[in-house]
Amino acid sequence: MTKYLLRRFLLSIPTIIGVTLLVFIILFLAPGDPAQMILGPRGTPEQVDALRQQLGLDRPVFEQYLRWLGGVLTGNLGQSIAARQPATTLITQQMPYTLTLALSAIVLIVVCAIPIGVFSAVRRNSWADKGLSAGSMFFYSLPDFWLAIMLMLVFAIQLRWLPISGAGSWQAVILPALALGLPHVGTVSRLMRAEMIDVLGEHYIRTAHAKGLSPIHVNYGHALRNALAPIIVYLFLTIPWLLGGAVIVETIFAYPGIGRLMFQSILSRDLPVVQGILLIIATSTVVFNLLGDFVTAQLDPRIRY
C-alpha cells in the first residue's frame, strides 16, 4: 500500500505544477501594470520604472513565474495592493472563518444526508423513499445564492431568529452553513442511497440475514460500514467545492472569510490576493484527493495496487 500511495503522491506533483502555472498565467494576462497600480495615478514614469525593476516585472515571463513560485514555496504570495500588507497575512487572518463555515457545512451534510440515504436504501421504492429522493433532487437543484437570500429573508428579516450578516457569534454561522451545505445534502444522500443499495445486494448480507441476525444489526453493523467508505472519500472531495461556494455565500452574508476576501480583491483588482486564494483552493483539491485515496486504501483492504 505504501508503494501505491507513493505513486499517487508522485503523480500529483505534475498536477500541482500545472495548477501553479495556470494560476500564474491567468493573472499574468490581466491588463494593467501592477507597478502603476501600486503607485496609483500620481506615480511618475520614473518611479513606475524603478518599481517594475524592483518587483522584477521587466524580466522574462518564465523568470517571473519561477520567482513567484519560489515565493509561494516560502509562504510569500506577494504584497496586497489594496491593503498594503502581505497577501499571506490577509489570507491567513480570514482562513479560520472560512474553515469554521466549511466544517459546519460538512457536519450538516453528514448529520442529514447519511441517515436519509440509509433510510431510503433500506426502504427502497417505498413512498417514503420516493419522497426523499425527489426532495434530494430538489435540494441538489437549489442555487446556493438564491437559497442564501431566501434563508436570509425568512429567518433574519421575517422571523428575526438569526443575525442577517457578520460573524462573531455561533448564531451567525448557521445561515451561511445552511446555504452552503443544503445543496450538497441532496448529492450526498443520493450517493449514500446508491452505495447502500449496492452493498445490500451482496452475498454476505444474505448470509448475515440467513444466520438470523436482526435487520438492524445487518443494516447498520454490516452494510453501513462498507457503504460508508466511498461517502467519506466524496466528503473529502466536497471540501474544496465548499471553499468555492464560500465566495458567494460569504459575500451575501457579509461573513469575513477568504471567499469574501476574494470577491473584494477582484473588485479592487488586488491580483496577488486573488492569485493566492485561487492557488490555495486548487491545491487543497489535489491534497484532499490524495487524502481521499489514502482513506480508501485504509478502509478497503481489497485495494492493493
Partner 1 sequence: MTPIAKPRLHITQGSRAHGPFAPQIRSFRRHFLGMTGLVLVLTLILIAVLAPVIAPYPPDEQNLLVLRQPPSAEHLFGTDHAGRDVFSRVVYGTQIALTIGITLIVIEALIGITIGLLSGYFGGWVDLLFSTLVDVFWAFPPIVLALGIVTSIGPSLTNVMIAIALISWAPFARVTRTKVQSLRTLEYIQASQCCGATSISILLRHILPNILPTNLVLASLMLPTALLAASSLSFLGFGAQPPTPEWGAILNEGREYLRQAPWISTFPGIAIVITVMAFNFLGDGLREAFDPKIR
Q: What is the dihedral of CA 29, 35, 41, 45, to 10 degrees?
A: -110
Site string for partner 1, 75-94 (x = CB under 8 A): --------------------
**The three three-digit cell numbers of residue 175, written as one number:** 445561515
Q: Is 159 in the site for partner 1 (CB under 8 A)?
A: no
Closest approach of partner 1 to the CB of residue 106, in Å: 15
Coil vs helix vs strand at 131: helix
Closest approach of partner 1 to the CB of residue 227, in Å: 14
Burial grade of 146 (CB within 10 A; 0-12, 13-18, 19 or more): exposed
Q: Is 134 in the site for partner 1 (CB under 8 A)?
A: yes
Closest approach of partner 1 to the CB of residue 244, in Å: 3
Angle at 252 between CA 251 and CA 257, to 5 degrees: 35
Closest approach of partner 1 to the CB of residue 50, in Å: 26
Burial grade of 272 (CB within 10 A; 0-12, 13-18, 19 or more): buried
Query: Residue 134's CB: how many other CB atoms inside 10 A?
Result: 9
Site string for partner 1, 203-242 (x = CB under 8 A): ---x--x------------------------------xx-
Q: Is 263 in the site for partner 1 (CB under 8 A)?
A: yes
Beta bridge partners, 79, equal: 86
Of 70, 96, 143, 166, which lies in the binding site for partner 1, with binding defined by CB under 8 A? 143
- Shorter beta-carbon distance to partner 1: residue 22 or 66: 22
Name residue 65's amino acid. Answer: Y
Q: How far is it, in rounded angstroms, from Cα 121 to Cα 135?
A: 15
Q: Please give the residue ranges that form the binding site for partner 1 (CB under 8 A).
A: 12, 14-15, 18-19, 22-23, 26-27, 29-31, 134, 137-138, 140-146, 149-150, 152-153, 157, 191, 194, 201, 206, 209, 240-241, 243-245, 247-248, 251-252, 262-263, 266, 269, 271, 274-275, 277-278, 281-283, 285-286
